[in-house]
Structure 1
Amino acid sequence: MSSATEETEPRSTQPRAFIVTIYGLYARDVGGWISVSALIQLMGRLQVDAPSVRSAISRLKRRGLLEARKVDGSAGYSLSRQARGILDEGDRRIFGRRRAELADGWLLAVFSVPESQRQQRHVLRSRLSWLGFGTTASGVWIAPRYLYEETREVLERHELSEYVDLFDAGYLAFGDVAELVGRWWDLEGLRRLYAEFLGSFDAVLERWLRDDAGGDAEAFEDYVRALTAWRRLPFLDPGLPPELLPRDWPGVRAAALFDELKDRLTEPAHRFASSAIEENSGRAATAGRR
């Protein structure tokens, strides 16, 4: 699933975020390619019109995430190698997220980038931020120790490792770590995002708990919307130990809400998306034989 590609996009570019979600959920099961007609049909369920879909696809193509390809004479787009890597990275964090323990310790990233490579400094900070690092001081970032392997992989893949030293660390003195994490991470900002997610999707789950919730198409719509709203949060929240979080931390309830929606909606949403993709592929094959 997608990681940091679309999460910083403003709300006006929401169609791109939906497309990334759809490709992340359903394209890899069918070789990474989806026809334009199938994508327009699926996006129609999300109240996005065809011109907006085509515009969003063009932007994703320019960013190197989608590649134009015809199958049986039908126009469509495949995931690029770069996009597959981003989606795989996102899967691990979104669907395999974990919560750190105090005994795990900390991972420190200390970096220095020459002034002449200012763009690389921006990219490095962006990568560390989306890996879940907080900031202790200029050029010194911190994360739960369990993020080491993922951090190393991402920094090497983006050719940023030459600027960074990673340290296995334990906090010794002189502050209260529970207070310090509120400085290292923007916990209040995270709280607002979790509250927003709960406010948007509590009622959706309540509706699906009733017998008249809807069919496969409604499940697809609700699941894509929920996952699109949710997927940035596991990157902003590194999974800090519960002992270091405020007692009423809404992230726990928000994660439980997302998991419940995922469990209830994944199968019917997949049926709907697969049917639309196969139906449009079938039309393309038929047209190609005429």
Structure 2
Amino acid sequence: MKPRSLMFTFFGEYIKHYGGEVWMGSLIKMMAHFNISESSLRGAVLRMVQQDYLKVRKIGNKSYASLTEKGRRRMEDGLARVYSVRNSQWDGHWRVIIYSIPENRRELRNQIRKELGWTGFGMISNSTWASPNPLEDQVLEMAKTYDLEDHILLFKTSSILSHTNEEVIHKGWDLEEISAEYATFISNYEGKFEELKEKTWNGSLSEEDCFVMRTILVHEYRKFLFVDPALPTDLLPEGWNGLKARELFFNLHQILSVPSTKHFETIFKHAPDQEPVLNRDKAVNPFMGV
């Protein structure tokens, strides 16, 4: 588990509901649960500041971290993918992107591919990507962020004449491989769910253990954002493991949420010039209103 990835998890699961800014000492204590040293954390913070994902300010001899607008967008995009209800009905339109990155900016090519994959697009041919989801705003925002408006064309079409919808999906994604990865997640966590239910009943579940388990659970489940395009349900193959994995994730998250949030509150400290913000309901149940 890398510090940068964990920070996005901490901000998305907890810190955003408590004012959005955190004392570095609190981050150090959170990272210690996962054997990440203070020096590793500070190195990751420096890199995230340089990449414009994080900003840090000092008050006296203490430092406080918060996400930049770019970092907040990345976090919110991830939260929406993890916690929102999957669209069951396809609107019948493909969003197709064609881009050509100038040679003098070729260093952006890998970044754009990563951004499109993260957003949920699949590459159907060289420099041509497609998605059945309404992602127009995200694409236009990405083009603006990287100053590529003149080099990206975005189409919305109800038909692709040369291929069936199933063939387009097959070109863009390996659903069999993704389903197999979901099957592994299910296999790893089904037993833990039964164990946690029993511990909940007998009161042997510590708040600190729940904080660690919830963080690992979200970290593991969030990996699917990089491979699963979140296709509408009516475009998915029958018996899609992603639906079962999502239900299992929700049930585990609900068991862990209250005690893990209480443990976070014992660690979290906000800046002295900020009014304390406590939105435990949203931290406990991030599925609400996403």
Selected match of 1:241 from 232, 236, 239: 232
Selected match of 1:26 from 10, 14, 39: 14
Once the two structures are aligned, what percentage of the paired residues are identical? Answer: 26
> Residue 225 of structure 1 corresponds to which residue in structure 2?
216
Do the aligned partners of residues 245 and 89 (structure 1) sit closer, same or farther apart at CA in structure 2, a change above 3 Å counting?
A: closer
Name the SS of the counterpart of 1:205 in structure 2.
helix
Superposed CA RMSD: 2.7
Q: CA deviation at 1:36?
A: 2.5
> Residue 54 of structure 1 corresponds to which residue in structure 2?
42
> Residue 198 of structure 1 corresponds to which residue in structure 2?
186
> Residue 6 of structure 1 corresponds to which residue in structure 2?
none
1:26/1:274 contact within 8 Å kept: no
Deviates most, 197-206 or 127-136: 197-206
1:112/1:163 contact within 8 Å kept: yes
Which whole-Å CA distance do the structure 1 matches of 2:271 and 2:100 have between them? 50
Which whole-Å CA distance do the structure 2 matches of 1:119 and 1:239 have between them? 28
Q: CA deviation at 1:174?
A: 5.0
TM-score for the superposition, normalised by structure 2: 0.80
Q: CA deviation at 1:127?
A: 1.9
Name the SS of the counterpart of 2:6 in structure 1.
helix
1:198/1:254 contact within 8 Å kept: yes
Do the aligned partners of residues 200 and 154 (structure 1) sit closer, same or farther apart at CA in structure 2, a change above 3 Å counting?
A: farther
Name the SS of the counterpart of 1:231 in structure 2.
helix
Do the aligned partners of residues 104 and 234 (structure 1) sit closer, same or farther apart at CA in structure 2, a change above 3 Å counting?
A: farther
Do the aligned partners of residues 22 and 102 (structure 1) sit closer, same or farther apart at CA in structure 2, a change above 3 Å counting?
A: closer
Q: Please give the per-residue CA displacement for 1:21-72, whole angstroms capped at 9, x wherever unaligned.
A: 1122222233332223212222222343444433433433343323332345
Do the aligned partners of residues 193 and 60 (structure 1) sit closer, same or farther apart at CA in structure 2, a change above 3 Å counting?
A: farther
1:64/1:82 contact within 8 Å kept: yes
1:170 matched to 2:158? The reply is: yes
Q: Report matched runs for 1:45-124 at 5 Å.
A: 45-71=33-59, 73-99=61-87, 101-124=89-112
> Residue 257 of structure 2 corresponds to which residue in structure 1?
266
Q: CA deviation at 1:227?
A: 1.0
Q: Please give the per-residue CA displacement for 1:110-156, whole angstroms capped at 9, x wherever unaligned.
A: 22223333123333222221111112222221101422233333333
The aligned amino acid for 1:247 is E
Which whole-Å CA distance do the structure 1 matches of 2:190 and 2:112 have between them? 36
Deviates most, 95-104 or 251-260: 95-104
Q: CA deviation at 1:235?
A: 4.8
> Residue 247 of structure 2 corresponds to which residue in structure 1?
256
The aligned amino acid for 1:108 is V
Q: CA deviation at 1:225?
A: 0.8
1:18/1:225 contact within 8 Å kept: no
Q: CA deviation at 1:103?
A: 4.2
1:208 matched to 2:199? The reply is: no
Which whole-Å CA distance do the structure 1 matches of 2:89 and 2:215 have between them? 31
Which whole-Å CA distance do the structure 2 matches of 1:226 and 1:260 have between them? 11
Name the SS of the counterpart of 2:253 in structure 1.
helix
2:207/2:262 contact within 8 Å kept: yes
Which whole-Å CA distance do the structure 1 matches of 2:183 and 2:212 have between them? 21
Give unmatched runs, 5+ long, in structure 2: 273-290
How many residues align? The count is 269
Q: Please give the per-residue CA displacement for 1:225-266, whole angstroms capped at 9, x wherever unaligned.
A: 111122232353222233443323211111111222222322
1:100/1:239 contact within 8 Å kept: no
The aligned amino acid for 2:112 is L
Selected match of 1:149 from 137, 142, 152: 137
> Residue 160 of structure 1 corresponds to which residue in structure 2?
148
Name the SS of the counterpart of 2:52 in structure 1.
coil
Which whole-Å CA distance do the structure 1 matches of 2:232 and 2:18 have between them? 38
2:121/2:131 contact within 8 Å kept: yes
